[in-house]
Amino acid sequence: MSASHWILPAPELRPFIDRYWSWEGGSGDALPMMLPGTGAELFFHIGEPFLMGAPGALPDRAPRAHLNYAHDSPLMLVADGAVAFVSVRIRSGALRHLCAQPIAELANAQLDAREIWGIELAELSARLSETADLAARARLLDRWLLGLLAAHKRGHALIDDAALRLYYRHRDTQIDALAGHYRISRRHFERLFKQELGCTPKSFLRTARFHQTVRDLFLAPDSEILGLALDHGYYDQSHFIHEFSAFVGERPTRFFAHARNAHFYAPSLKEAGSGRSPR
């Protein structure tokens, strides 16, 4: 039987990191499809890494530590044996503050984290594997991430604000109005947003709406699909089916008939408050 636990990061990191979470299970505890989203997941495997790949493709063994920052494409995760990992859930728009690379180079890719953070990351991965519990691993991750933040935190605070508005207010936010709020042209806003986050504001909003709709459907499985989709700003049933199929490759009724939930779709701690932490 699989088991999942979470813990909050240090207070200084919470604008950038939603949580640390762990998962343990065996080959009989299949992981679900990892759907497109606006944040990122940084995985550290404690045991044998899972397999991952595009739906329908032959999966490959994941690196010992890897970053998934996928806005457009789903990813299948397969546990073919005993699997254990700890993951850093990076908030929407926050990855740019934690690395030196242009974010456009990291989007829609599954990358060996050593290619981004080098030998320091490899040493951290080894120490996490040697550490016994999630609280101790969280302290190691806190120190490392605070160091990254001190080294790489970027300017353009309006991008952080825009990402939050587009994510949490995706139904009511218009891109023209948002650019006007920052007193810049829409063209300049779009160029700056793509430079800093690797996608356009329109693409970000579209993905945020999809991700939150799917998350809410997982968290409230008895909800009526169309009603919840309309609540998130889809125009009608055909609009939601078209968007869902574009992201997932199948219709929503078929997907939810066999889909498995996981911590990828847990409630946002920003929305739920600080919650309870097992520290």
pLDDT tens for each residue of the chain, 279 residues long: 567 899 999 999 999 999 999 998 877 667 878 899 899 999 999 988 999 988 888 989 999 999 998 777 888 888 888 889 999 999 999 999 999 998 888 877 778 999 999 999 999 999 999 998 999 999 999 999 999 999 999 999 999 999 999 999 988 899 999 999 999 999 999 999 999 998 999 999 999 999 999 999 988 888 888 899 999 999 999 999 999 999 998 999 899 888 877 777 787 765 444 343 443
Q: Which domain holds residue 108?
A: 3-154
Answer yes or no: is 265 within a domain.
Answer: no
Q: What is the CATH number of the domain that holds 174?
A: 1.10.10.60
- Looking at the fold, whether 122 and 164 belong to one and the same domain comes out as no
Q: Which residues contact 106 (CB under 8 A, 6 or more apart)?
A: 40, 67, 69, 95, 99, 116, 198
Answer yes or no: is 43 within a domain.
Answer: yes
Answer yes or no: is 276 within a domain.
Answer: no
C-alpha dihedral, 91 to 93 to 98 to 102, nearest 10°: 150
Q: Is residue 168 packed enough to be buried (19+ CB in 10 Å), middle (13-18) or exposed (0-12)?
A: middle
Longest CA–CA span in the chain (Å) reads 54
CA 269 to chain centre: 13
**Residue 242 and residue 192: Cα distance in Å, rounded?**
29
Q: At what angle do helices 157-168 and 186-197 cross, to 10 degrees?
A: 90
- Looking at the fold, whether 24 and 147 belong to one and the same domain comes out as yes
Residue listed under structure tokens 């989203």: 37
pTM of the model: 0.91
- Looking at the fold, whether 163 and 124 belong to one and the same domain comes out as no
96 close to 196: Cβ distance less than 8 angstroms: yes
Answer yes or no: is 275 within a domain.
Answer: no
**Residue 176 and residue 17: Cα distance in Å, rounded?**
29
Q: Is residue 160 packed enough to be buried (19+ CB in 10 Å), middle (13-18) or exposed (0-12)?
A: buried
Q: Which residues, listed in sequence order, are joined to residue 66 by a DSSP beta bridge? A: 43, 112
Q: Closest Cα to residue 4, out of 65, 121, 67, 83? A: 83
Total domain count for the chain? 2
Compute φ and ψ for 53, nearest 5 degrees.
Answer: 180, 170
